[in-house]
Every structure is written in structure tokens, then in C-alpha cells.
Amino acid sequence: MKAGRWIFIVFILTFILSIIFSTISNVISVQFNTGLLSIIILSIVLFLVISIGIIFDLIGTAAISGKESTFHALSSKKIKGAKQGIYMIKNSNQISSICNDIVGDVCGIISGSIGAILTINIYQVTGWPNSVISVVLAALISSFTVGGKAIFKLVAIKNADNIILVVSKVLSIFGGNK
């Protein structure tokens, strides 16, 4: 794929994902804008956004680490998803860019936004200083994001073919054959 086209696709995907994630977090924050319930719901959404970033980082790392020969062998045995696995590994640079960079970065940005909204809600409920809440939440969000990605990178490297097989089986349900 030409570099200019790929950059345009990356821009559009990032733009669309940002709109989707931002809209979801804004709707939730408006629906539950004060009180303990909003803190609980926003915390759950924050956990989900961080988890999505970690899972996609795992997939992107596995795509780079997977062995194409494994999937050719699976394809010869007519194992469902093997062709998608070959496609993922042959296009690992793009898969990694989408999973690690686009989805991962969007999740990081959105988790920061949710953290800011959560800071305001915690302040309204507890009266604790905003600066303290903000610093603690930023540290927690960063720690869980970076720590989770570090742990699951090791998992992705050691279990790349298995991870790609699971993902490719899911993709085969939605995407047909590649």
C-alpha cells in the first residue's frame, strides 16, 4: 500500500475511533454527571477503555511476532481462520499500526479525558482537592495502561501464534476469507 494512502487511512481510522470513544464517554458523563453512581460507572468505562488499549496492543504485538509458516500449515489442514492469520502476519506492520498506535493511542487519550471527568465527579462527591485527585488518577491510569501493556507484550511474544489464531477465527466469522 502506498505511504500516502496508508497515512490517509490512519488519519480517518483515528478520527472515526476518536469520535466513537469520545461520544460514548461524553454520553455516559452527561447521563451520570454527579454522585457516587457516576463515579462507579465512569470507573468501569475507564477500566474498559484501558483494557481495550491493552488487548489491541497484545494483538498488534502478536501480529509482528507470529510465524507465517504456522498458519500455512493450519491452512493446509483447512483450519478455520488460518487464511486470516496469514493475512495478519503478512500485513503485520499495518495490523500493528492499527492495533498499537491507532486504537492504543485513542484509548490513551480517551482514558485521560475520562480521568478528567472522573476527577470532577470525585471532587463533587468528596470535596477532596482537585489537584490531588487529578495527580492520583493520572498516575493510576498511566500505571495500569503502561504496566498492562508491558505484561501483555511478553504474553503476546510468547504466545503469538495462538493469539493470532484466536483473533483470525473471530475475523473469519465477520470478514469471510482473505
The predicted model scores a pTM of 0.89
**Residue 18 neighbours by CB under 8 Å, 6+ apart:** 106, 109, 110
Across the range 67-72, mean pLDDT stands at 97
- pLDDT score of 173 more than 80: yes
pLDDT tens for each residue of 71-99: 999 999 999 999 999 999 999 999 999 99
Of residues 41 and 163, which shows the higher confidence score? 163
- For residues 89 and 165, what is the distance between their CA atoms, to the nearest angstrom? 11
Stronger pLDDT, 27 or 106, i.e. the higher one: 106
What mean pLDDT, rounded, does the chain reach? 91
The x, y and z cell numbers of residue 68, run together, are 507465517
Question: 171: closest CA among 107, 106, 95?
Answer: 95
Contact 147, 136 (CB under 8 A): no
Helix H, strand E, coil C: the string for 72-141 is HHHHHCCCCCHHHHHHHHHCHHHHHHHHHHHHHHHHHHHHHHHHHHHHHHHHHHHCCCHHHHHHHHHHHH
Q: Rounded to whole angstroms, how far apart are CA atoms 73 and 69?
A: 6
Q: Which residue would you say has higher pLDDT here, 73 or 173?
A: 73
Mean pLDDT to the nearest integer, 118-146: 95
